[in-house]
């Protein structure tokens, strides 16, 4: 896999300590030609599947593969529109597979997909996998969890501090492959990236067991690949009851 200058990348996925299979998927991709790279930029994706034995892994794998392929061949040059097309294509591909394989009718997946293009960050998001921005000494969660508990917090029925122990904290209100259309969320405008900014994408198997501040410290103090290993090992040392996936992208000076 080619990684052009401008970033430092680390990624890792792990089955964890209690699951029988890894239903997470991820990818990092760049167009092969420099001309296409200038038009499209870099693609970073994480997905966390659901739907019983094998179904979740199939759903997340389909989502990542279709998003990567659709993004690569798309003629749309506007990154957000290209992401919209890719997420929709992934959603429809999962739906098609589920229709053809009724035993996987309940399959679906979360998905967080980011594009880095000309110094700007674009992203689309479904479910409760997360994208964080680390800038200076701060870490900011950019995505909003599409969960029952997040909706309850927004409605004033639950405090943010109560979410971590609520039994419905991972009940999704949206997922790829579920419903007629995909309920993806996008930022109102792209985010201008600065040198030394760090992007961290992860599934709930990580952030359930590792605090935001622990992510910030690991990503700041070590190289992305080393930080990914440290964070996964920390989650596993605390039970690792879910699959764990993390990608870290550090923006280097131009």
The CATH code of the domain that includes 142 is 3.60.40.10
Helix (H, G, I), strand (E, B) or coil at 153: helix
> Considering the entire predicted model, what is its pTM?
0.94
Does the residue 52 lie in any domain? yes
**Rounded-to-integer distance, Cα 207 and Cα 221, Å:** 18
Q: Provide the angle, in degrees to the nearest 10, between the axes of the packed helices 212-221 and 224-237.
A: 150
pLDDT band at residue 132 under the 50/70/90 scheme: very high
Average pLDDT estimate for 51-75: 91
Does the residue 1 lie in any domain? no
Q: What is the pLDDT of residues 192-236, one digit of tens each?
A: 999 999 999 999 999 999 999 999 999 999 999 999 999 999 999
Domain that holds residue 238: 7-249
Exposed / middle / buried, residue 167 (Cβ in 10 Å: 0-12, 13-18, 19+): exposed
Nearest to 1 by CA among 60, 43, 35: 43
Q: What is the pLDDT of residues 144-157, one digit of tens each?
A: 999 888 788 778 77
Does the residue 2 lie in any domain? no
Q: Give 42's strand partners.
A: 116
Does the residue 119 lie in any domain? yes
**Number of structural domains found in the chain:** 1
Does the residue 94 lie in any domain? yes
Does the residue 254 lie in any domain? no
Spatial neighbors of 249 by CB under 8 A, at least 6 apart, are 7, 8, 9, 42, 44, 116, 198, 199, 200, 224
């Amino acid at each position: 896999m080619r990684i052009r200058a401008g970033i430092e990348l680390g990624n890792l996925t792990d089955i964890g300590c209690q699951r029988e299979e890894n239903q997470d998927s991820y990818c990092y991709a760049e167009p092969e030609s420099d001309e296409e790279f200038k038009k499209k930029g870099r693609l970073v994706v994480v997905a966390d599947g659901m739907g019983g034995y094998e179904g979740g892994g199939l759903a997340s794998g389909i989502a990542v593969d279709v998003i990567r392929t659709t993004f690569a061949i798309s003629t749309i040059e506007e990154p957000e529109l290209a992401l919209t097309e890719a997420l929709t294509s992934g959603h429809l591909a999962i739906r098609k597979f589920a229709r053809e394989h009724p035993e996987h009718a309940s399959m679906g997946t979360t998905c967080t997909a980011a594009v880095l293009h000309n110094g700007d960050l674009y992203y689309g998001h479904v479910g409760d996998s997360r994208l964080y921005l680390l800038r200076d000494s701060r870490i900011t969660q950019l995505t909003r969890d599409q969960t029952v508990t997040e909706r309850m917090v927004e409605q004033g029925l639950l405090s943010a501090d109560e979410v971590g122990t609520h039994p419905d904290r991972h009940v999704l209100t949206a997922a790829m492959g579920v419903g007629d259309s995909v309920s993806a969320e996008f930022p109102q405008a792209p985010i201008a990236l600065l040198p030394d900014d760090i992007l961290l994408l992860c599934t709930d198997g990580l952030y359930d067991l590792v605090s935001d501040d622990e992510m910030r410290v690991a990503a700041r103090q070590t190289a992305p690949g080393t930080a990914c290993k440290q964070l996964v090992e920390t989650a596993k040392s605390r039970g690792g009851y879910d699959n764990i996936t993390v990608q870290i992208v550090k923006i280097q000076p131009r």
